Amino acid sequence: MDLTWMAWTWPTAALFVFIFASIALMGVLEWKFPGGAPRRGILGLDTTRGDRLFLSLLGSAFIFLGWLGLMGTPLWGFLAIAAAWSAFVFWKV
C-alpha cells in the first residue's frame, strides 16, 4: 500500500503512536485495575479515565498553541506544562 500521499514524518507518527498507546493503556489499566467508573473531581465533572485522557490531550493542544503563540520555540516549556496539566487532570479532575 502506497502511503506517500499521507506525507508521514517521524515526529507526527510518534505523536499518533503516543495517542493510540495512551488509549490502549487506559484499556489495559481498566483490565488490570477495574474501577474506571465515573468519579466526581474538583471541577464538578464526572469523569472516567478515558475522559481524563481526552481532557489532558485537548488541554495540551491549547497549551501548545498558547506556548507557541506567546513564547515560540523551543517547546520544552510546553512539554513541562502539558505534563503538569495531564498529571493534575488524572489526579484531581
Partner 1 sequence: MATKTDNQKAWFFVLPVVVLVAFNALIPLMTVVNYSVQETFGNNLFFWEGVGWFEQVLHSERFHAALGRQLMFTGIILAIEIPLGVAIALTMPRQGPWVPVCLVLMALPLLIPWNVVGSMWNIFALPEIGLLGRAINAMGIDYNYTQQPLAAWFTVILMDVWHWTSLVVLLAYAGLISIPDAYYQAAKIDGAKAWAVFRHIQLPKMKRVLTIAILLRFIDSFMIYTEPFVLTGGGPGNSTTFLSIDLVKIALGQFDLGPAGAMSLIYFVITLLVSWVFYTLMTRDDPK
Which residues would be at the binding site for partner 1 (CB under 8 A)?
4-9, 11-12, 15-16, 34, 37-38, 44-46, 54, 58, 61-62, 64-65, 68-69, 72-73, 75
Question: Could you give the C-alpha distances from 69 to 18, 36, 60, in angstroms and in order?
Answer: 24, 36, 14
**Cβ at position 91, least distance to partner 1 in Å:** 19
Nearer residue to partner 1 within complex by CB, 13 or 25: 13
Nearer residue to partner 1 within complex by CB, 38 or 90: 38
Q: Which residue has the cell 481532557?
A: 55
Question: Could you give the C-alpha distances from 23 to 43, 61, 75, 89, in angstroms and in order?
Answer: 23, 17, 24, 15
